[in-house]
């Protein structure tokens, strides 16, 4: 099958190294190979070889691409995966790409969750960077943690439960309580 505006051998330049999967936000969210750039290239190759036929689900798979071009920036083969996906979308829909409404609602919902997750993970990374970079922020957070930890249940002077994002730490084991002051302050006191 000839795909409009697509050279015959372009999709076959992929070396299947999987580097693109590490950078694709859609693959990171779903964990499904077909929704990653390498999986989509395989689908395009199957369409070009005549091994696959166009289906609504295939349109849905290509609609999930965020077109962020992280895969293009990090592809060691230099494959422009985003343009491949745009060409296949145009070919599927004769220039107008609009997936069926049952997939659109799921796509918008999962995309908004992915945006929220990315925002929170970046905010947390910045928070951790600031805490580790500036000692006074670290010391202030240590004091807050020392006070807040008293709200959690204890067992043999060990913390036995933490709330949601941290509950995995105490699910199968007890956690040592946070120290009243940092190791550095304790060391300076003992040094004098």
Contacts of 60 (CB under 8 A, 6+ apart): 99, 100, 103, 107
What's residue 105's pLDDT?
A: 52
pTM: 0.47
Average pLDDT value for the chain: 78
Tens of pLDDT, residue by residue over 23-58, are 898 898 888 888 899 898 888 888 777 788 778 888
Domain ranges within the chain, ordered by starting residue: 1-133, 135-192
103 — pLDDT class (breaks 50, 70, 90): very low
Q: Is residue 78 scored above 70 in pLDDT?
A: yes
Q: How many CA atoms within 13 Å lie on the side-chain side of 72?
A: 11
What's residue 153's pLDDT?
A: 79
What's residue 183's pLDDT?
A: 86
Give the architecture-level CATH label for domain 1-133: Orthogonal Bundle (1.10)
Whole-number Cα distances in Å, 60 to 36, 92, 97, 99: 13, 11, 10, 6
CA distance 145 to 185: 16
CA distance 79 to 38: 11
Tens of pLDDT, residue by residue over 141-153, are 888 888 888 888 7
Q: Is residue 191 scored above 80 in pLDDT?
A: yes
Q: Is residue 99 scored above 50 in pLDDT?
A: no
């Amino acid at each position: 099958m000839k795909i409009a505006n697509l050279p015959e051998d372009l999709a076959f330049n992929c070396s299947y190294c999987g580097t693109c999967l590490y950078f694709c936000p859609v693959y990171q969210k779903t964990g499904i190979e077909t929704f990653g750039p390498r999986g989509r290239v395989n689908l395009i190759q199957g369409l070009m070889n005549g091994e696959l036929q166009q289906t609504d689900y295939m349109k849905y798979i290509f609609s999930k691409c965020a077109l962020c071009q992280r895969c293009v920036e990090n592809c060691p083969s230099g494959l422009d995966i985003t343009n491949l996906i745009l060409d296949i979308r145009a070919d599927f829909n004769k220039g107008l790409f609009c997936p069926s409404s049952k997939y659109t609602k799921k796509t918008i919902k999962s995309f908004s969750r992915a945006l929220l997750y990315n925002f929170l993970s970046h905010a947390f990374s910045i928070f951790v960077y600031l805490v580790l970079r500036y000692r006074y922020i670290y010391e202030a957070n240590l004091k807050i943690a020392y006070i807040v930890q008293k709200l959690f249940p204890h067992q043999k002077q060990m913390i036995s439960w933490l709330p949601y994002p941290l509950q995995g730490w105490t699910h199968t084991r007890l956690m040592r309580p946070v120290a009243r002051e940092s190791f550095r302050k304790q060391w300076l006191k003992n040094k004098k």
